[in-house]
Structure 1
Amino acid sequence: MSEGLTWTVYDADSMTQAEIYGQVLCDLGDQHPEIVGLSADLANSTKIGKFGKKFPERFFNVGIAEQNLFGVAAGLAKSGLTPFVSTMATFVSMRACEQVRTDICYQNLDCKIIATHGGASFGQAGSTHHCTEDIAIMRSFANMTVIVPADGIECANAVKTCIDWPGPVYIRIGRGFEPKFYDDEEYGFQIGKAVTLMEGTDITLICCGVTVLQAMEAAKFLKENDGLSVRVLNIHTIKPIDEEAIIKAVMDTRRLAVFEEHNVMGGLGSAVADVIAASGKGCAFTKVGIPDCYCEVGYPEDLYTHYKLDADGVIETVRQVMQMDFEEDDDWEDEV
């Protein structure tokens, strides 16, 4: 991971997730002359404009032309540069889907994509600005790494780490008003490795993005009020996913619940389910997200409550999963 950055964790209280990303990218630009920035007329909204102001000769605004955006990024990457491309998650995953797949992923190019306004973070803007399908789309592309940071501090870690991670990387962040979760950067962030936030033996909560804070608040409440021992895993990297942490959770707790700001089809929950199914191990399992529908229109906090992604919703789900029956024994052979 690169060192000597001017951004510190103290800035997380006054800067949005996207602003932190923009500052970290500027710091990385001092150390890595091969970094270039690209935008499709959203430099201010996505905060990559900070990089453009500091390095105008290394910044390219292609205008409102997202498909061209990734074609240009591919050409720059083929020339030996490391493009950081930033636009809204809906535009990356849908408007420019073919170009990301064929120009970037097919050639396994060293292109880093920072997708803002992910999930329902711009919920009041309507369905065209909701992005609840992008994780499913991006993790289906060969060579693509998919990261969903919990907050600005984890976003900074992801951006700093991805510079040394080969191939295309998709980092999905919100609109910028997400609360801080981590107190500092030193909690063991590694691409492809889950972070165990709380140990537990009764049930495991698996989460990413904005649901990490909600899951932790719920876990503390359940321990104090229900006497439950709740394990909480922040699986910030959806692909490659930490299979070892998931299987250990199945073996240790036998009950798993996944929470994500994404359609329940194809996202983190589906990735976790794939691991469980392949293992042949049985457990009580549920996934909570946008229930295979187009998200309602409203402020993000209201939508999280509506779809049971806030702490109260997590508590309700845990209590339901604790009532699920499964074959509870130590003989795993008959589970296959």
Structure 2
Amino acid sequence: MKAQRQVWGETLAELSKTDSRIVILDGDLGTSTKADIMAKDNPDAFVQVGIAEQNMVGMAVGMSTVGYRPWLSTFGVFLTNRALDQIRMLVSQTKAPVRLAAAYSGLLNGAAGKTHQDIEDLAVMRAMPNMTVLAPADEYELEAMVRWAAEFDGPLYIRVARDPVVPVFTEAYEFELGKPRLVREGSDVTLISTGVQTSRTVEAADLLQEQGVSARVIHLPSLKPLDEQELLSLIGNVDRVFTVEEHTKINGLGSLVAELLVESDKPTRLTRIGLEDGWSESGPNDFLLDKYGISPKRVAEQVLAVRA
């Protein structure tokens, strides 16, 4: 298994050798985000901006006007909070082809604490006009997304996780914008997840199977745009749907699916599994996943409790 951040750095460094438009602007976190791979392999395609995320956005937009396809590299929390005004005004409103690589996304950021955890990013970016929002499940989907994004002509936000997870897909995976993916068949309940949480949700489905519950698992790599009719079709004829996300339950994946279901004619009950409204905290990965109810075991327990 490889961490998404490692694959992100390696893939961009490789692509930059044949595509001179690709450049990484780094916010002084290259050793963490793995932007330093580009700095070592192709230093001409690497710009060290320092701890100046707002300036970094402006620089990237300027570079995009002369043909570059810049990637911004920093922790997600600094993009969706500290540099939000610049992203809104300079990237979103102008439809600039700037890629926002949100490293250390979600709850698990190596014990850096709640100041560096970003569990509200999907809510912020999903509401941003013109913004494409992606959350890959594993290393293979991340690589496919980066290769696809090299030719994408518009603003893009992609979650990049710090630590590796059990892969959901294989090297043969091909990314299709907006397309939901059925990763596990099941007939009793439908579990919908996104990002690296999908790997844990598949593990939760295994635990549910041991308890006699057949769980279908759907992965959403693209939260915006989304093929809504395809998702409704994949949900199937079950009486209970669960969304599972490493994100606050407010305006994230659960809200997206709730909006879709309430506007459809599908009579399906929805339960949202995710972080409650409150600040998260620092700690070991397994502890945090259990505490906030998104470890495979805790997800399975919540599904069983609702069905009891």
Q: If the TM-score is normalised by the length of the shorter chain, which range does it land in? A: over 0.9
Counterpart residue number, 1:4: none
Counterpart residue number, 1:273: 258
Deviations 1:236-280 (A, max 9, x none): 111112312331245422311011111110111111111112214
CA distance in 1, matches of 2:173, 2:182: 10
Normalising by the residue count of structure 2, what TM-score does the alignment of the two structures yield? 0.95
- The gaps in structure 1 that reach 5 residues or longer are 1-12, 324-336
CA distance in 2, matches of 1:183, 1:170: 21
* More deviation, 276-285/261-270: 276-285
* More deviation, 179-188/208-217: 179-188
Amino acid at match of 1:258: T
Aligned pairs for 1:88-127 (under 5 A) are 88-122=75-109, 124-127=111-114
Q: How far is the alpha carbon of 1:29 from its aligned partner? A: 0.7
Contact (CA 8 Å) 2:106, 2:118: kept in 1 or not? yes
Counterpart residue number, 2:290: 305
Structure with greater Cα Rg: 1
Contact (CA 8 Å) 1:189, 1:195: kept in 2 or not? no
> Is structure 2 residue 252 aligned with structure 1 residue 284?
no
Q: How far is the alpha carbon of 1:230 from its aligned partner? A: 1.3
Q: How far is the alpha carbon of 1:34 from its aligned partner? A: 1.0
Q: How far is the alpha carbon of 1:291 from its aligned partner? A: 0.4
> Is structure 2 residue 66 aligned with structure 1 residue 79?
yes
CA distance in 2, matches of 1:200, 1:161: 30
Say if 1:245 and 1:256 are closer, same or farther in 2 by CA, change over 3 A.
farther
- The gaps in structure 2 that reach 5 residues or longer are none
Amino acid at match of 2:164: E
CA distance in 2, matches of 1:154, 1:18: 12
Q: How far is the alpha carbon of 1:39 from its aligned partner? A: 0.7
Root mean square deviation of aligned Cα: 1.6
Counterpart residue number, 1:163: 150
Amino acid at match of 2:32: S
Counterpart residue number, 2:245: 260
CA distance in 2, matches of 1:257, 1:233: 10
CA distance in 1, matches of 2:194, 2:32: 23
Counterpart residue number, 1:317: 302
Contact (CA 8 Å) 2:242, 2:270: kept in 1 or not? yes
Amino acid at match of 1:291: E
- Corresponding residue pairs, total: 308
Match of 2:230 among 233, 240, 245: 245
Counterpart residue number, 1:179: 165
Contact (CA 8 Å) 1:250, 1:283: kept in 2 or not? no
Deviations 1:120-170 (A, max 9, x none): 112622210110011111111111111111122221111111122221111
Contact (CA 8 Å) 2:3, 2:161: kept in 1 or not? no
